[in-house]
Structure 1
């Protein structure tokens, strides 16, 4: 990165506050200035591996230095390298289902959508048998196994999306086993691809269902055959030559041609005695692949603890956005993520400023600015695989990813109800602000598993996420109706689009409230010996329990 560029950005950054300033105050004007800078054209949409990244990394480091924080990256620096595998599929040479010697060609993007995370020039699947594995869940702690010993090596696993109890009725085996309408990680498409690879499958296909996944086929199509993953050692590369989705209509035809009724099998998959079904059909694919390694970076900073520096509270937000795209109606070409997640980054700077102005903490406070969240939580996953601070001594992780910009609210939206004791802290600190806690409005969409905090949750670290689109805030001006209007407008027009730009009409009073909650909870933890815990029933409790002795 250019040190001169970093120095220039520092000169335009917000100066560190005077020591007399109240530490708990989050300044909306500071938030605005940070967002306006990061979302400007100068940063070109902050895509990983671009000039926009270079400028972003320089800016982040400059700001952290100005705040007086210390580097917490690799080899005493500010960054952690995150090499990314970037792939893109070309026009298929072969793409078909075969049954009894008769091929049924598949239209790429219409009947089927696939991508690859193997660093190969061609993605090839030859006459691989298709096996329907229901929801593809292996959850011994819940007494559930969809695989029943099925050998998937060299085969194609076909999954249903979401959890076995997503549509279960009272009296069915699955009813209430996986949180009802609230999605668990077993319901996420990422889990299903991971499980297929663990079992040696050569490909994995999920039957698309708008209700189950939470979005239409147009969203499935939108990456256009492009994918990103972490660069892996040769012996760690996924077994999946292809992974993706088949449309609901195509799936119905596939099952019917195999003498099966997909609707009946959906019901059967909600029973404990479900067994995988061989569909008597093979999958054939031969698709050219272009691939490259994109060098990216996390930025890590710390404020060392004075008494227990090996115990760490981490705040995180992702710095990346979507880079350049097609011009919108205003001619904007950069999808710069002003809210998603420049505002989260701004929140971290404000929390850091508040901590720096206060007495030194007992525990270390760390700040993580993740790369490639928009490519699959890859920066945070790279950190979690090779953590700078041991996960067993990581007290908690607080994630900021999209905050509402419509003003003060009477409530705060909780993502992941029932997961951990940090939600009790959230309720208590919100009450001190005169606010209540409201659960996310669409828990079946699994937002708890779709932000960077999840990479640490998978390793047992207690987490809490602030995400403004998880539900309609009860706004002081306009109530729930106005809160829902804000969510609908942002998600309908601006989410991942050039429209997500700084707007002079933003009212950040509510964002200030939310950021202050995270500061207060983290401040308490940083000056105590308390360890937040997962609640009974959380899929992450047993992971954390394994390292309990290290926290005695």
Structure 2
């Protein structure tokens, strides 16, 4: 009897201990999803069908319910794929060369991009940010014009004493610095086109990356009320310097002027002309959505998400491999979402509905998540948070967690608490000017006000339990050499205990978020705080 009494407290502790992510399950799922039969999981291919069938079967086996429209497991996502053919492009009297001087694309399904002698106007950084008391446009009408932007934020590289200093993210890029924001702002203001002056420091990547599209682009199918600009793209820094000099303008001096809140748009004498044939392909793809219904507040949700797509097949590498399997990006993230579904399903029923989302076309511009965000199956006003898995380090256990987008929301406090219980600390991302916070699927709901947090190992070198930061950097360098390439492939050398740690972080955060009444908040300086505040009444 004494022995039984002794073991009872231990049994009680075991009963309350939450289940853990299984590294072996993560490995097996990642290996399967990135295997050759899945063909690199490109949208609109046989690989998509196989991937979606696999995901639905997994969710069913775990006992989840469909989370898509009308009780389905999927949400259809219609896409367009465009490719520009060769044609004349001129800036004033100068002919521009696609790939050398400019990197142009379109996301409009028109058969031709036809711009004839359109006025050009330099709009500085092209930012309107009421919370920063900043407006680069000063009431300018861009209708029918081509806007020329600088990349990044006004305070990027701004020295002390300059007006812009400290108004945005300083070295950390805000959404106003992203090229997507600038194209959208041009469209909102009626512009016919937009050119962003490339510089490697501001963009976070070299011209070779900005030019990698080769005239191709993707988008969701949009209605007439949500049309994009006719032509968009990058203008090389070298070409921009020469073109502005031909107008007797110093681009360096203009860049300095654009760091003042008093900046006003500068019309150029030159006109812009382009006539480019467009090939348009339509693709039917799909998101996969599953859920565990809430027992108290079923209309309130928490999202756990990853993207199922990768880059499909491409030119053969040195070994003759053509499939880009996306094992870490993002088959491992999908496996993590599946493990979260398993962990939550084995636990007590949540008070809120838990949504498990696998998005399509992330690699084409966050398009599956964007489609969902404009047509949500659960109201975004009552979505407490989005937690996204997109590339996890596979070098082993880490002593820290890399935080992408520091300073955005109170979810960071939850992450800090969960990490501390694992004996881990928080390390802010390196090179925050790259804007990683705006480059994964969670951002589609972020820009509609939903607080979100992503785990992305690209944010910097982890401090590994074995080998420290140097070992983390070695892993990161090795992975980046395979990023979006044929060698992002599962190997038995990968250590899945690290990813299991990270998935367990989201499980711990998710258990807190699943409680009714827990509403993470944006920090006062976040550019998304005001958007969320508009729907505050829905959460009372």
TM range (shorter): over 0.9
Matching of residue 124 in structure 1 with residue 110 in structure 2: no
Residue correspondence of structure 1 range 150-161 to structure 2 within 5 A: 150-161=140-151
The corresponding residue for 1:439 is 428
The corresponding residue for 1:134 is 124
Matching of residue 229 in structure 1 with residue 200 in structure 2: no
1:21/1:357 contact within 8 Å kept: no
1:210/1:216 contact within 8 Å kept: yes
2:187/2:227 contact within 8 Å kept: no
The corresponding residue for 1:60 is 55
- For residues 340-361 of structure 1, what are the alpha-carbon distances to aligned partners after superposition, in whole Å with 9 as ceiling and x for unaligned? 0000000000010001111111
Q: Tell me, what secondary structure is at the counterpart of 1:413?
A: strand
- Deviating above 6 A after TM superposition, structure 1's stretches of 4 or more consecutive aligned residues are none
For structure 2, list consecutive stretches of 5 or more residues without a partner in the other structure.
1-14
* Offset, 1:275: 0.9
Structure-2 change in CA distance of 1:21 and 1:40 (3 Å): farther
Matching of residue 285 in structure 1 with residue 274 in structure 2: yes
Q: Tell me, what secondary structure is at the counterpart of 2:477?
A: helix
The corresponding residue for 1:499 is 487
2:523 corresponds to which of 509, 519, 535: 535
For 1:21 and 1:71, how far apart are their aligned partners in 2? 29
TM-score, normalised to structure 2, is 0.96
TM-score, normalised to structure 1, is 0.94
The corresponding residue for 1:213 is 203
2:297/2:516 contact within 8 Å kept: no
The corresponding residue for 1:327 is 316
2:91 corresponds to which of 92, 97, 104: 97
For 1:46 and 1:447, how far apart are their aligned partners in 2? 23
* Offset, 1:192: 0.3
1:243 corresponds to which of 225, 232, 243: 232
> How many aligned positions are there?
527
* Offset, 1:504: 1.2
For 1:90 and 1:402, how far apart are their aligned partners in 2? 34
2:142/2:191 contact within 8 Å kept: yes
The corresponding residue for 1:515 is 503
The corresponding residue for 2:6 is none
* Offset, 1:525: 1.6
1:24/1:520 contact within 8 Å kept: no
For 2:515 and 2:108, how far apart are their aligned partners in 1? 46
For 1:292 and 1:441, how far apart are their aligned partners in 2? 38
2:293/2:350 contact within 8 Å kept: yes
Structure-2 change in CA distance of 1:324 and 1:389 (3 Å): same
For 2:539 and 2:127, how far apart are their aligned partners in 1? 32
Q: Tell me, what secondary structure is at the counterpart of 1:537?
A: coil
- For residues 504-529 of structure 1, what are the alpha-carbon distances to aligned partners after superposition, in whole Å with 9 as ceiling and x for unaligned? 11011111111100011101221342
For 2:222 and 2:433, how far apart are their aligned partners in 1? 31
Q: Tell me, what secondary structure is at the counterpart of 1:464?
A: strand
For 1:75 and 1:362, how far apart are their aligned partners in 2? 23
- For residues 461-481 of structure 1, what are the alpha-carbon distances to aligned partners after superposition, in whole Å with 9 as ceiling and x for unaligned? 111110011011001111111
2:284 corresponds to which of 276, 295, 299: 295
Q: Tell me, what secondary structure is at the counterpart of 2:396?
A: coil
2:343 corresponds to which of 342, 346, 354: 354
For 1:339 and 1:525, how far apart are their aligned partners in 2? 26
Q: Tell me, what secondary structure is at the counterpart of 1:118?
A: coil
- For residues 122-163 of structure 1, what are the alpha-carbon distances to aligned partners after superposition, in whole Å with 9 as ceiling and x for unaligned? 111110111110000011111101111112111110000000
1:371/1:379 contact within 8 Å kept: yes
Matching of residue 401 in structure 1 with residue 390 in structure 2: yes
The corresponding residue for 1:83 is 78
Matching of residue 34 in structure 1 with residue 29 in structure 2: yes
1:24/1:519 contact within 8 Å kept: no
Residue correspondence of structure 1 range 156-195 to structure 2 within 5 A: 156-195=146-185
Q: Tell me, what secondary structure is at the counterpart of 1:516?
A: helix
The corresponding residue for 1:388 is 377
1:310 corresponds to which of 274, 299, 302: 299
For structure 1, list consecutive stretches of 5 or more residues without a partner in the other structure.
1-19
Structure-2 change in CA distance of 1:152 and 1:64 (3 Å): same
* Offset, 1:23: 4.8
1:544 corresponds to which of 527, 532, 538: 532
Structure-2 change in CA distance of 1:23 and 1:429 (3 Å): closer
